[in-house]
Structure 1
Amino acid sequence: MLILALAVGVPLAVGGQVASPAVSSGQDAVVSGEGWNDSAGWPGSGQDSTGHNEYGQSGQDDSGQDDSGQTQSEAVTATSEESAGVVTINTTLSYADESAAGTGMVLTSNGTVLTNNHVIEGATRITVTVPATGKSYPATVVGTDTSEDIAVLKLTGSSGLTTVKEDEDAESVGQKVTAVGNAEGQGTLMAASGVISALNSTVTTSAEGTVGSESLDDMIEISADVVSGDSGGALLDSEGEVIGMTTAASSGTTAVVAYAIPIENALKVVSQIESGKEGDGVTLGYPAFLGVEVASATSTTSSAAGEAGQQGRAATSSTVSGAQVAEVIDGTPASEAGLDAGDTITSIGGRTISTASGLSSALAGYRPGSKVTVGWTDTRGVSHMASVTLTTGPAA
């Protein structure tokens, strides 16, 4: 059985985690763009069928039945009660000329929204729509926790919004649940009924594009027709209260095994973000952005340095120790400083850079608007230094 991250429209190089949650994941953000099957929102060829790893904890078979022998019901249009407080999310990833879609939950009437980090990762513009009213709002990132796959957004110009109701009771295996989300990124909230098949599951996602592997613990495993685009959506109990946030799902079998982050765990991260405390995986706001894509010995990475899949010049090989530039994005600090593809960045703010990850780590210590000195060696072996002002990057 394959476990997929489900963010609709997220390009391989930029984000929306096209990862393969291990045994207990279920990221459902719909993905579209190069390397994806636009009709289904899943990765195309070049990956192991779905772009995700295979795991053995299915609890279901290819007949569409779970271990209890029950046939899984197809998702239907969500009722107004099921849709209360649930919103659709659409993102633009300008540097990669891509778009993505997922789901979110309104936590406060003035526009605090909870979603998965992989839904908004790499985004340069985020729009949140309330299906019940049809109103759309621009959103900014308040903070993220990549290790827990959680993001908190703030809507601009919103008030009087309906919020989700959070459950305070303990869950149990066999409990009936409903997953509500922006299925396939179509903008219509769908409801997939099912049951809890396991608690305290652990999921490991595989690295994909610029998104690294991650493990998520204490997940709720459910048997329900969860699909791409449902990521960040509400997992409801029979009383219509939120018990979790849909995050990953299986692929390759008729019956779907999906995974959700318990709402109490997600709210702990939200509380930390709103208190303004960074650390333990939590980052506030947007990262500083240099505007380069860098290559490592085994792969291409962008992190805070830049985003993969952007327009730029092809790099040539280099033997200089540092972070080799694969591409330079037009109009960014790196471009204005004169960096070219093939150059090797050797220092940031006086700190020696010897690897691509070292560059990302160094940039993580700066805020947008920070002035920093960049040192690099060009393809002719000539050394350069320039002072740049880091700009605001895509959502981390």
Structure 2
Amino acid sequence: MHPVEDHGAPGSGGSRSAAGWLVLLALAGLAAFLLARPILTGPVAGLPAVAQSSSPYTVHRPAGGVRGGGIVNVDTELGYRGTLAAGTGIILDRDGLVLTNNHVIQGATALKATDTRTGRTFPAHVVGYDRSNDVAVIRLSGAKGAGLRPAAFGDSGKVSEGDAVTAKGNAGGKGGAPKIAQGRVTALEQTVIARDDSDGSSERLSGLIETDAAIRPGDSGGPLFNASGEVVGMDTAASAGFKMAKKGKGRGFAIPINRALGIAEQIRQGHGGAKIHIGRTAMLGVQVRPVDAGRTGSGGQSADGGQSGGQGGGQGGGAEVASTLPDTPADRLDVPTGAVITALDGEPVDSPNTLTDLLLRHHPGDRVALTYRMPGGQPVTQQITLASGPPQ
């Protein structure tokens, strides 16, 4: 995803706050995703030279796809951050179902997508997403009968090192016709770490296709085609400093399309689970951060630091409230700044990421028990009704 300057919004020009509005949780990693997703940890040596075709889900390949086509430009409004961003999507069917990266729609309060073939723009909404695999499915409103042409999909299990590939997408977030980047598959089954330099948070992505094609910010969610024009991967990340690298020296990464289509089929069928969230996202309305290891609360309790701090919701762990979003459930219950959330509906919270995972098990309108430590150390449990917020 690529940041787009919004002259009418505060903080325009793609800037991001270090903490970030975590309406559902801490939006850990959002800033890096918007800027390109730099890679910290490289591939693991000694991996197989042929992609693995196995998938935990049934792979559904839409019939009648267009080779080398089926692309939309995705534009998002991040209302809680006062900025805009852009990415790419792959058309799955003629009725407006589109595959993209989760980080493209993460934090979006409004979505629209433009068919790069016809130039027609459609409002869109999120059908579901899988944060751990960086996969999301959106639906374009009013697209049925509008002449959408889905992409042609290949088998990522047949991809080999050295294969010629072509990446197409909304590079630079400028819209218009897809930008083209050609290259070859340089490695398979790769594991990388994408980090948000603004707050040090990171995400591990594994089983990726590596290519020397010049994948750039804005290409996220776009197709990686084989020599026959079939989609074999979904672009997701580019290496740090890629824009400054000489041609052929950078590294880009794509999610094997077998995996992405399998997850998309689960979402299409409405089958949620521990990793897959279906429908609208529940919102608590807090901006949270890891408990500071070097800070001791006024009640004399030691704070356990790290993104995965202390155990269970005990005295040392949790997610510290940095602030609350106006007119949200947490704001209406007067959850104070400095409070440390330690449990949600009886489930322990030991970090901001855990809070997000627990919230994703719920939906707007659910009533849950929120447990937190006051700045003075006393425990509080309140019943709270979750609101509707942006996807995580």
The answer, yes or no, to whether TM exceeds 0.5 is yes
Report what 1:34 is aligned to. none
SS in 1 for 2:331: helix
- 1:371 paired with 2:367, answer yes
What runs of 5+ residues in structure 1 fail to find an aligned partner?
A: 1-5, 20-28, 32-41, 43-49, 59-80, 300-315
Report what 1:97 is aligned to. 82
Report what 2:159 is aligned to. 171
Report what 1:77 is aligned to. none
SS in 1 for 2:142: coil
- Contact 1:342-1:378 at 8 Å conserved across structures: yes
Q: Distance in 2 between matches of 1:358 and 1:118?
A: 18
What runs of 5+ residues in structure 2 fail to find an aligned partner?
A: 5-13, 21-26, 46-65, 302-314
Letter in 1 for 2:149: T
Deviation at 1:217, TM superposition (A): 2.9
CA deviations on 1:126-164 (whole Å, 9 max, x unpaired) are 111112222222222211112211111111111231110
Q: Distance in 1 between matches of 2:196 and 2:342?
A: 26
Match of 2:328 among 310, 329, 332: 332
- 1:110 paired with 2:104, answer no
Letter in 2 for 1:337: L
- Structure 2 counterparts to residues 276-355 of structure 1, below 5 A: 276-279=270-273, 281-298=275-292, 318-319=298-299, 321=315, 323-345=319-341, 348-349=344-345
Q: Distance in 1 between matches of 2:353 and 2:148?
A: 41
Match of 1:241 among 230, 240, 243: 230
Identity %: 36
Match of 1:391 among 371, 387, 391: 387
Match of 1:219 among 201, 208, 228: 208
Q: Distance in 2 between matches of 1:328 and 1:258?
A: 37
Q: Distance in 1 between matches of 2:82 and 2:379?
A: 33
Change beyond 3 A, Cα 1:193–1:349: closer
Q: Distance in 2 between matches of 1:318 and 1:83?
A: 61
Aligned-residue CA RMSD (Å): 3.2
Report what 2:310 is aligned to. none
Q: Distance in 2 between matches of 1:99 and 1:18?
A: 12
CA deviations on 1:259-286 (whole Å, 9 max, x unpaired) are 1112112111111222222235222123
Q: Distance in 2 between matches of 1:367 and 1:221?
A: 36
Deviation at 1:197, TM superposition (A): 1.9
SS in 1 for 2:192: strand
- Contact 1:276-1:284 at 8 Å conserved across structures: yes
- 1:125 paired with 2:113, answer no
Change beyond 3 A, Cα 1:348–1:201: closer
Report what 2:53 is aligned to. none
- Please, which moves more after superposition, 167-176 or 233-242? 167-176
- 1:198 paired with 2:187, answer yes
Instruction: Name the TM-score, length of structure 1 as normaliser.
Output: 0.72
Letter in 2 for 1:368: P
Report what 1:87 is aligned to. 72
Change beyond 3 A, Cα 1:15–1:203: same
CA deviations on 1:91-121 (whole Å, 9 max, x unpaired) are 1111122221110000011111101111111
- Contact 1:368-1:390 at 8 Å conserved across structures: yes
- Please, which moves more after superposition, 362-371 or 145-154? 362-371
Q: Distance in 2 between matches of 1:336 and 1:284?
A: 27
- Contact 1:293-1:327 at 8 Å conserved across structures: yes
SS in 1 for 2:330: helix
Change beyond 3 A, Cα 1:109–1:208: farther
CA deviations on 1:56-90 (whole Å, 9 max, x unpaired) are 889xxxxxxxxxxxxxxxxxxxxxx7762101111
- Contact 1:373-1:385 at 8 Å conserved across structures: yes
Letter in 2 for 1:259: F
Q: Distance in 1 between matches of 2:286 and 2:28?
A: 16
